[in-house]
Chains A and B, each alone.
Chain A
Amino acid sequence: MQESHFDRKKEFVALLSAHRDSLYRFCLHVIWDKNSAEDVLQEAILSAYKNFGHFQPGTNFKAWMFSFLINKIFDSNKRFKKEFQQVNSSQGLDIVEHLEKEEAYISILENPSVFFERMDARIKSALLALKPTERMVFLLRSVEGFTYKEIAQFLDLPIGTVMSHLSRSRARLRELLVDYARETGFVR
Chain B
Amino acid sequence: MRCQDSRRYLNPYMDSELDAKTCTDITNHLAVCEACSKRFAQEQEIEKRLVKRLQREKMPDESWEVILERLNAYDSPGRRRVRLAWLVPAAVVPVVTAVLMLFFLWGKAPDNTNSWSATLQEMHGKYLKQEISISPGLSWPQEFQGLTVLEHLPQSGVIGGHDVQLLGGRPFYAKDIHGAHIVYTCCNTPASMFILRKEDMRDLKRAQRLLDKGKGFAVVDLGNMRLSMIDLKEVVVCCISSHETNTLLTAFSRT
Contacts and interface: CB of A to CB of B under 8 A. Distances in A.
Interface residues of A, number: 66
A167 interface: yes
A183 interface: no
A109 B40 CA distance: 10
Interface string A138-157: 01011100011000000000
Contact of A13 (B10, B51, B71): B71
Given A36-B174, A129-B142, A94 B46 contact: no
B58 A24 contact: yes
Contacts of B42: 109-110, 112
B24 interface: no
A104 interface: no
B67 interface: yes
Given A129-B142, A131-B142, A143 B71 contact: no
A62 interface: no
Contacts of A42: 66-67, 70
Nearest to A28: B57
B7 A96 contact: yes
Given A32-B171, A33-B173, A96-B39, A46 B74 contact: yes
Interface in B1-53: 4, 7-8, 10-12, 15, 17, 39, 42-43, 45-47, 49-51, 53
A147 B16 CA distance: 9
Contacts of A174: 46
A3 interface: no
12 contacts: A9-B75, A21-B59, A24-B59, A25-B57, A32-B171, A34-B133, A36-B174, A41-B67, A94-B7, A127-B54, A128-B139, A174-B46
Given A36-B171, A170-B11, 8 more contacts: A24-B57, A24-B63, A31-B173, A35-B172, A94-B8, A95-B11, A116-B49, A163-B11
